[in-house]
Amino acid sequence: MPEIIFGRGLLTQIGSCARRLGGNKVFLVSDQGLFNAGWVDQAMHSLLEAGLNFVYFDQITPNPKDHEVETGAREYIRQGADVIVGLGGGSAMDAAKGIAILVSNGGNIRDFEGSDKISRPLPPLVLCPTTCGTGSDVSQFAIINDTQRHCKLTIMSRCVAPDISLTDPDTLATLPEEFICTTATDALSHALEAYFSVASSTLTDVNAIRALSLLSDGLVRAVREQQPDDLERMARASLHAGMAFSNSLLGIVHALAHPIGGLYDINHGSVNAVLLSEVIRYDLPVVTEKLPELAWTLARHKDLSDRDAAEVVEEKIEHMLDAAGAPRTLSSLGVKREDLPQLAHNALSDVCILTSPREADETDLLRILERAF
């Protein structure tokens, strides 16, 4: 787990964080949207105030691509940078991670797909999330699009958890409404999959449950009204969910979302929102011992039968997704029916399938995709 700094207005600390890690020349990775909203400017100001030089790199796109990461790494080396700061959603942060991997390990980003393939330590890394959902700022995952094979590379390693995770919930004030919904539902999927994971433990459960409690309380309001207190709740939920899933890993939602994102380059949170209900319905019969705490957390119901608890959980999640206006079908996202078999097949080799509470073969996965279509 990285050192965690959380609080409104704390983006101004980005410079002192980078300096504390021993940096002199910062490679700042962010994107146009955050630049336009003024947050990149604030970060640059903080870096200068801390006496640091910096190089700004924004040649990244949603679902960051292998060639973008390679360009970033070349630029980092050419400029002689020595610390990386990623400011943004999962795309900017995962791009920052990918660049960090390449500058210290060389090779091709594809070489690092899978678990524990990174052999040399990364440069110091500070990650600042500006959405409600990625968890990349605390996680040991980096997801990069392989544009040759049209799939997502899931890179899992302790090394890609940053040195410092710095969240300033004020940055959510400029996040477009649709992204509040899709990133907060992404956090919801992280928390639920982490809680159900076969690798979960009390250490991860406490964070998953706190995330679910915050989401249950504030997600719909945060999307609809965008009040600072609710947005801060979402930022906290994202952090707790990230702390949970980084250690317990995930499940079928993410095992399916990765190939879909790789093939269509569509928003990760939207895909998760669509898959979530179907996967939860698939998982519920095998997670009965976790249902009492979950029914209590989501809906303040207790002493229910397994069947009633499952119903309460399912209804509450449906309600949250509907009321938040989350996308509900794969077809509405542009997924084509004829691709479903290939997507089900590809999900079988994603690392997230390994911690699903309920085993699933290609037929099971295809059935889930068809129901979510």
- In the complex, what is the shortest distance from the CB of residue 211 to a copy of itself, in angstroms, rounded to a whole number? 9
8 Å CB contact between 320 and 215? yes
**Site map for a copy of itself, 133-172, x if CB under 8 A?**
-------------------------x--------------
- In the complex, what is the shortest distance from the CB of residue 346 to a copy of itself, in angstroms, rounded to a whole number? 31
Measure the CA angle with vertex 61, ends 58 and 66; round to 5°: 95
**Candidates 9-17, 176-184, 187-195, 233-241; binding stretch for a copy of itself (CB under 8 A):** 233-241
**Site map for a copy of itself, 261-300, x if CB under 8 A?**
----------------------------------------
- In the complex, what is the shortest distance from the CB of residue 236 to a copy of itself, in angstroms, rounded to a whole number? 6
- In the complex, what is the shortest distance from the CB of residue 252 to a copy of itself, in angstroms, rounded to a whole number? 26
SS3 108: coil
Is there binding between residue 210 and a copy of itself (CB under 8 A)? yes
Pick from 26, 143, 136, 5: nearest CA to 82: 26
Structure tokens, 307: 């069947």
Is there binding between residue 236 and a copy of itself (CB under 8 A)? yes
Choose which of 78, 148, 202, 361 interacts with a copy of itself (CB under 8 A).
202
Is there binding between residue 209 and a copy of itself (CB under 8 A)? yes
Q: Where are the alpha helices (DSSP H) in the chain?
A: 14-20, 32-36, 39-49, 66-79, 90-105, 177-196, 202-225, 228-248, 252-264, 268-283, 291-299, 306-323, 340-347, 362-372
Structure tokens, 272: 């998760």
Is there binding between residue 6 and a copy of itself (CB under 8 A)? yes
- In the complex, what is the shortest distance from the CB of residue 243 to a copy of itself, in angstroms, rounded to a whole number? 8
SS3 82: coil
SS3 227: coil
Structure tokens, 341: 């078999």
Cα–Cα distance list, 173 to 9, 38, 356 (Å): 12, 12, 35
8 Å CB contact between 244 and 194? yes
Choose which of 99, 142, 239, 343 interacts with a copy of itself (CB under 8 A).
239
202-225 helix and 177-196 helix, angle to the nearest 10 degrees = 160
Is there binding between residue 19 and a copy of itself (CB under 8 A)? no
Is there binding between residue 1 and a copy of itself (CB under 8 A)? yes
Judged by beta carbon, residue 2 or residue 259, the one nearer a copy of itself is 2
Judged by beta carbon, residue 235 or residue 260, the one nearer a copy of itself is 235
- In the complex, what is the shortest distance from the CB of residue 189 to a copy of itself, in angstroms, rounded to a whole number? 20
Judged by beta carbon, residue 33 or residue 162, the one nearer a copy of itself is 162
Calpha distance 316→321 (Å, rounded): 9
Is there binding between residue 305 and a copy of itself (CB under 8 A)? no
By CB under 8 A, name the binding residues for a copy of itself.
1, 3-4, 6, 158, 201-203, 205-207, 209-210, 214, 236, 239-240
